[in-house]
């Protein structure tokens, strides 16, 4: 690696082999590779990269420790800022965050910060030697066990609070468990993070739906002094086109949940998933990539990814798009569905699309697509997977806290809702966003809760 | 491990273990009719809040499917939930293989919106087959708030009759129909309903719960009489919390989600044909048919009174 303009590449599984299973695609650095990559970091005084990280990890500081081969120290640095380094190192959109601002990127490739973060986390058992502060005996509740809830719970526990997580499903992890597939984020990593929380004394009550099984008042009556809500993005959107309720049309959430949470691809699982040999995925985000690549792994011969703008506008991470291409996903850019067609048994038989062209720039600075007259065409498919975003969960309305016109929870800048002992963060507040954003908000709320108690104690 | 012990006191561990060990225990199992079975399950969280019209989702074993079942009754003091299920496939068969004293792996609820029964003076509840298990808690809740309640319950034949006394004791009048006339009056529930609607011109609401085709036919009758009609939609569900979108159906031209917006909807607005088709995804599928032999075998056993 004499040429310091190029980053150390991470080994990938061969694309032909990887579409036959759900094993992780990116294999991670060896110690030598990590040290070589760490040595590319200039340890800039003004740390431009740090301002690109939503939780402001002291990036040159942890990389400095890798250079010295001191991985325990490096992990401690990371842990000051993030409770899910093994996850964020894998799924953060680094290229638009920390790495986008790396000085190395000016004349070559930025330092592979995410890959290094992953390396440090993977070489560690995830359990910090430092003991939490003394227990305060104050009960706090965390609703939802996605990244927002997990990081809030972890931070509160370290600060000495008595924490209980309430999770609606039979498994913890939120999107980390049921959304992001094994080949991008092995579930063993999610398990490890959750075990680390349990070691801190965090209690987890699964199969409890807040708003139905218990409401906020019950938690308050039960002695919970502060509550954090991290219930995630909510329901999938549909296009409202003809044929969307035919058999074989799934939302990406349903499709991925059947695979990841219910393990529909394993023989021992009872949850069915009916997938034909030709599959269309509609959308252009990470979720669409995950659905398309999962369909390929389940044996679909052709997987078409239908996106109404061009490749440049696609919101998915570059890396995911590259991996999808290597795996044979067939991209249909500038193409928009008009109707889903069905056979006599009401199963999907095709999707009718129209070509699009890019017109003027809209207020979000993206060129607005418009239909090309007379370009309608039909793609023969057996399944359609809709992956065009989410809308707020109607259950939120029953909680008795203020919501905005989109149905998302309203909070002030420190994460407090209209009920002052209730905080909220993550996708339930922002709408579908990122793991690191959710994690950052969970942690911020934990500190706010702590400050609130400290100031009360002093007063 | 040491830090864990330091922060969890002994009595808390004991309390925790007690809670976990008694959770989702089957305390009673009883066969009501051919392949229709009642269970009482220890689930205090659910029992604390349960209301008529709500359901639970359970997983029998670690690798089982999540399936929804209506809360047929509850006992808040003892933390018990009653479910009544018909053995129709793998999940309900696995459930039926559990006995009193066994545990259900996961059990979550109450889910869905409770039935809207406030301010009803006079109502009719129609139940078809195992749908009666879903209809019964509504009858009971109506009776408890002193609504004048008439019920029409229909079964294929005498062997399939369930909850006979329960309906009778909570209704001002109960009409029992059987398709073949082997018990009660001969005919479909629509006939019984029309009789009641002719007799009572001041019905505030009809609740209809049963097979989709039955609810569709009931809605056609009540439309004629201009009576508000509520149906309970048994869409296929996974999470039941408003995340996957699998339970969607069309109501008045809009997409709705049975698990969070329902399961009860205005029967005059539901697209029943589409709902029927969506529930048929399990039919014509080779992947599911390997279970069929086993199911038939079990159904025979249940029929033989096992
Ligand atoms: C397929 C997919 C791929 C993605 N890929 C990426 C990626 O590569 N990089 C990235 O940064 N982000 C990605 N995201 C987005 C990221 O996963 C989310 O932004 C993040 O998980 C949000 O975290 P959260 O904690 O707010 O919510 P969630 O992860 O959604 O967790 C919410 C939890 O709350 C539970 N819950 C909901 N309602 C209740 C209730 N009433 N009571 C109790 N519990 C409840 C849910 O069951 C769930 O476990 C992806 C999302 C998806 C769906
Ligand atoms: C809100 C609601 C309340 C219900 N209440 C009751 C009840 O009180 N008693 C009762 O006997 N049944 C009830 N059902 C139906 C019950 O969920 C199904 O009979 C059960 O899931 C069948 O599973 P199986 O594996 O045994 O059968 P399968 O062979 O898998 O399927 C048989 C039929 O059951 C339906 N079904 C299958 N899987 C699901 C699923 N995950 N969700 C919903 N339906 C499914 C389909 O229509 C299918 O054709 C209810 C359904 C809903 C949505
Ligand atoms: S958490 Fe994400 S943004 Fe922050 S340093 Fe790590 S990879 Fe970069
Ligand atoms: S900007 Fe790049 S080179 Fe500079 S400290 Fe950050 S990671 Fe290192
Ligand atoms: S069952 Fe998943 S949204 Fe209703």
Query: Could you give the ipTM of this predicted complex?
Result: 0.90
Set of chain B residues whose Cβ sits within 8 Å of the Cβ of A135? 7
β-pair partners for A335: A355
Give residue B289's pLDDT: 36
Q: Are A80 and A123 in contact (CB under 8 A)?
A: no
Three-state secondary structure of chain A: CCCCCCCCCCCECCHHHHCCCCCCCECCCCHHHHHHHHCCCCCCCCCHHHHHCCCCCCHHHHHHHHHCCCHHHHHHHHHHHCCCHHHHHHHCCHHHCHHHHCHHHHCCCCCCHHHHHHHHHHCCCCCCCCCCCCCCCCEEEEECCCHHHHHHHHHHHHCCCEEEEECCCCCCCCHHHHCCCCCCCCHHHHHHHHHHHHHCCCEEECCCCECCCECHHHHHHCCCCEEEECCCCCEECCCCCECCCCECEEEHHHHHHHHHHCCCCCCCCCCCCCCCCEEEEECCCHHHHHHHHHHHHCCCCEEEEECCCCHHHCCCCHHHHHHHHHCCCEEECCEEEEEEEECCCCEEEEEEEEEEEEEEECCCCCEEEEECCCCCEEEECCEEEECCCEECCHHHHHHCCCECCCCCECCCCCCECCCCCEEECCHHHHCCCCHHHHHHHHHHHHHHHHHHHHHHHHC
pLDDT at A78: 93
The answer to whether residues B139 and B84 touch, using CB atoms and an 8 Å cutoff, is no
pLDDT value, residue B5: 42
In this predicted model, what pLDDT tens digit does every residue of A133-187 receive, in sequence order? 677 889 999 999 999 999 999 999 989 999 999 999 999 999 999 999 999 999 9
B249 contact residues in A (CB cutoff 8 A): 245
The reply to whether ligand 3 has any atom less than 6 angstroms from the CB of A94 is yes
Q: How far is A222 from chain B (nearest CA, A)?
A: 13
For ligand 3, whether the C-beta of A97 sits within 6 Å is yes
Residues of chain B under the 70 pLDDT cut: 1-22, 282-306
Selecting from B6, B49, B63 the residue whose C-beta is nearest the C-beta of A213 gives: B49
Tens digits of per-residue pLDDT, A305-321? 999 999 988 999 888 99
Contact A144, A229 (CB under 8 A): yes
The dihedral sign for the CA sequence A345, A271, A269, B54: negative
Nearest CA in chain B to A237: B245
What is the 3-state composition of chain B as percent helix, strand, coil, each rounded to the nearest 5?
35, 30, 35
Query: How far is the C-alpha of B306 from the C-alpha of A125, rounded, in Å?
Result: 52
Instruction: Considering only the beta carbons, identify the residue of B63, B242, B287 that sits closest to A395.
Output: B242
* Nearest residue in chain A measured CA to CA from B13: A203
Closest CB to A235 among B45, B59, B243 = B243
Number of H helices, E strands in chain B: 12, 16
pLDDT at A280: 97
| Distance between CA atoms of residues A438 and A401, nearest Å | 20
In sequence order, the β-bridge partners of residue A353 are A337, A377
Distance between CA atoms of A220 and A139, rounded to whole angstroms?
Answer: 10
Q: So what's the pLDDT on residue A137?
A: 85
d(CA A237, CA A256): 15
Which pLDDT tens digit goes with each residue over A261-292? Answer: 998 877 778 887 888 899 999 999 999 999 99
Instruction: For A331-376, give the secondary structure using H, E and C.
Output: EECCEEEEEEEECCCCEEEEEEEEEEEEEEECCCCCEEEEECCCCC
- Average pLDDT, whole number, for chain A? 91
Chain B positions touching A232 (Cβ under 8 A) are 243
pLDDT of residue B156: 86
Give nearest CA residue, ligand 2 atom 38.
B236
Distances (CA, A) of A113 to A9, A49, A53, A449: 12, 9, 10, 31
- The pLDDT tens digits for A93-130 are 999 999 999 999 999 999 999 999 999 999 886 666 65
pLDDT of residue B284: 54
Q: What is the pLDDT of residue A273?
A: 85
Report the alpha-carbon distance of residue A61 to residue A68 in Å, rounded: 11
Residues 6+ apart with CB under 8 A from A299: A275, A277
Cβ-based burial of A451 (10 A; exposed 0-12, middle 13-18, buried ≥19): exposed
The predicted pLDDT at position A363 comes to 81
Range 93-132 of A in CB contact (< 8 A) with B:
131-132
Residue A384 Cβ contacting ligand 3 at under 6 Å:
no
Taken as a whole, chain A contains a residue count of 459
The angle subtended at Cα B292 by Cα B286 and Cα B293, nearest 5°, is 125
Q: How far is the CA of B6 from the centre of ligand 3 (A)?
A: 33
Question: What mean pLDDT do residues A51-69 have?
Answer: 94
Instruction: Give the lowest-confidence range in A208-222, A331-345, B161-175.
Output: B161-175
Q: How close does chain B come to A298, measured CA to CA in Å?
A: 14
Q: Which residues contact A94 (CB under 8 A, 6 or more apart)?
A: A100, A113, A114
Name every chain B residue with its beta carbon within 8 A of the beta carbon of A236. 244-245
Over residues A352-372, the pLDDT tens digits come to: 999 999 888 888 787 888 999
- Say if residues B86 and B35 touch (Cβ distance below 8 Å): yes
Q: What dihedral do alpha carbons A196, A201, A206, A210 form, nearest 10°? A: -120
A69 CA distance to ligand 4 centroid (A)? 18
Which pLDDT value is given to residue A266?
79
Q: How many CB atoms lie within 10 A of CB A328?
A: 16
A23 contacts: CB under 8 Å, gap ≥ 6: A13, A182, A183
CB B174 within 8 A of CB B148: no
- CA A347/CA A273 separation, integer angstroms: 14
- B135 CB within 6 A, ligand 2: no
Encode B175-184: b = buried (16+ Cβ within 10 Å), e = exposed.
bbbbeeeebb
DSSP 8-state class, residue B25: B
pLDDT at A130: 59
Q: Within 13 Å of residue B55, how many CA atoms lie on the same side as its CB?
A: 29
Residue of chain B with shortest Cα separation from A132: B3
What pLDDT sits at residue B285? 52
* CB contact A358 to B (< 8 Å): no
Question: Which protein residue has the closest C-alpha to ligand 3 atom 3?
Answer: A53
pTM of the model: 0.91
Helix (H, G, I), strand (E, B) or coil at B251: strand
Q: What is the dihedral of CA A204, A207, A213, A214, to 10 degrees?
A: 10
* Dihedral angle of Cα A316, A320, A322, A325, to the nearest 10 degrees: -90
């Amino acid at each position: 690696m004499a040429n310091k303009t190029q980053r150390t590449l991470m080994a990938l599984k061969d694309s032909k082999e990887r579409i036959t299973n759900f094993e992780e695609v990116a294999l991670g650095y060896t110690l030598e590779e990590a040290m070589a990559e760490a040595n590319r970091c200039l340890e800039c005084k003004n740390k431009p990269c740090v301002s690109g990280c939503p939780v402001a990890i002291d990036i040159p500081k942890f990389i400095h420790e890798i250079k010295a081969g001191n991985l325990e120290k490096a992990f401690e640095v990371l842990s000051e800022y993030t409770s899910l380094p093994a996850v964020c190192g894998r799924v953060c959109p680094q290229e638009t965050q920390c790495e986008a601002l790396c000085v190395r990127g000016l004349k070559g490739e930025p330092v592979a910060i995410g890959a290094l973060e992953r390396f440090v986390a993977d070489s560690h058992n995830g359990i910090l030697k430092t003991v939490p502060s003394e227990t305060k005996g104050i009960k706090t509740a965390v609703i939802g066990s996605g990244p927002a809830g997990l990081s809030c719970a972890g931070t509160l526990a370290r600060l000495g609070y008595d924490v209980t997580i309430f999770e609606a499903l039979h498994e913890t992890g939120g999107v980390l468990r049921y959304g992001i597939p094994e080949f991008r984020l092995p579930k063993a990593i999610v398990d490890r993070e959750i075990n680390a929380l349990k070691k801190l004394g965090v209690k987890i009550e699964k199969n409890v739906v807040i708003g139905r099984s218990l409401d906020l008042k019950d938690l308050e009556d039960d002695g919970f002094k502060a509550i954090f809500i991290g219930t995630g993005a909510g329901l999938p959107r549909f296009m409202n086109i003809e044929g969307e309720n035919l058999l074989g049309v799934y939302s990406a959430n349903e499709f991925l949940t059947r695979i990841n949470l219910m393990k529909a691809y394993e023989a021992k699982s009872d949850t069915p998933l009916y997938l034909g040999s030709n599959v269309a995925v509609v959308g252009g985000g990470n979720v669409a990539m995950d659905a398309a690549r999962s369909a390929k792994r389940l044996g679909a011969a052709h997987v078409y990814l239908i996106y109404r703008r061009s490749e440049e506008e696609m919101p998915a991470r570059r890396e995911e798009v590259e991996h999808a291409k290597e795996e044979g996903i067939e991209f249909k850019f500038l193409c928009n569905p008009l109707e889903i067609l069905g056979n006599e048994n009401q199963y999907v038989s095709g999707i009718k699309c129209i070509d699009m062209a890019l017109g003027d720039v809209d207020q979000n600075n993206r060129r607005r697509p418009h239909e090309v007259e007379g370009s309608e065409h039909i793609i023969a498919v057996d399944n359609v997977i809709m992956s065009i975003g989410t809308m707020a969960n109607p259950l939120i309305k029953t909680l008795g806290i203020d919501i905005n016109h989109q149905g998302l929870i309203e909070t002030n800048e420190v994460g407090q809702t209209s009920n002052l002992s209730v905080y909220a963060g993550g996708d339930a507040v922002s709408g579908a966003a990122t793991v690191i954003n959710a994690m950052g908000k969970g942690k911020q709320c934990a500190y706010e809760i702590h400050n609130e108690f400290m100031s009360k104690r002093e007063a | 491990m040491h830090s864990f012990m330091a922060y969890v006191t002994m009595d808390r561990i004991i309390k925790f273990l007690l809670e976990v060990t008694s959770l989702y225990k089957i305390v009673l199992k009883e066969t009501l009719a051919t392949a229709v079975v009642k269970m009482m399950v220890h689930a205090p969280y659910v029992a604390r809040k349960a209301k008529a019209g709500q359901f639970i989702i359970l997983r029998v074993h670690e690798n089982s499917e999540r399936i929804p079942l209506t809360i047929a009754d509850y006992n808040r003091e003892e933390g018990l939930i009653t479910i009544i299920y018909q053995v129709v496939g793998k999940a309900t068969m696995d459930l039926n293989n559990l006995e009193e004293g066994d545990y259900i792996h996961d059990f979550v609820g109450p889910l869905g919106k409770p039935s809207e029964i406030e301010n009803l003076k006079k109502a009719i509840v129609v139940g078809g087959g195992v749908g009666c298990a879903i209809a019964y808690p509504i009858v009971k809740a109506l009776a408890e708030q002193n609504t004048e309640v008439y019920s029409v319950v229909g079964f294929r034949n005498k062997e399939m009759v369930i909850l006979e006394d329960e309906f009778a004791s909570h209704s001002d009048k109960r009409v029992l129909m059987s398709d073949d006339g082997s018990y009660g009056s001969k005919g479909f529930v629509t006939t019984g309903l029309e009789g009641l609607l002719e007799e009572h011109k001041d019905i505030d609401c009809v609740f209809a719960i049963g097979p989709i085709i039955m609810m569709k036919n009931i809605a056609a009758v009540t439309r004629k009489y201009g009576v508000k009609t509520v149906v309970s939609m048994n869409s296929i569900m996974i999470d039941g919390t408003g995340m996957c979108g699998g339970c969607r159906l069309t109501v008045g031209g809009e997409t709705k989600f049975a698990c969070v917006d329902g399961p009860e909807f205005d029967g005059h607005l539901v697209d029943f044909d589409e709902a029927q088709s969506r529930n048929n995804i399990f039919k014509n599928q080779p992947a599911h048919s390997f279970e069929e032999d086993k199911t038939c075998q079990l159904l025979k056993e249940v029929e033989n009174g096992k």
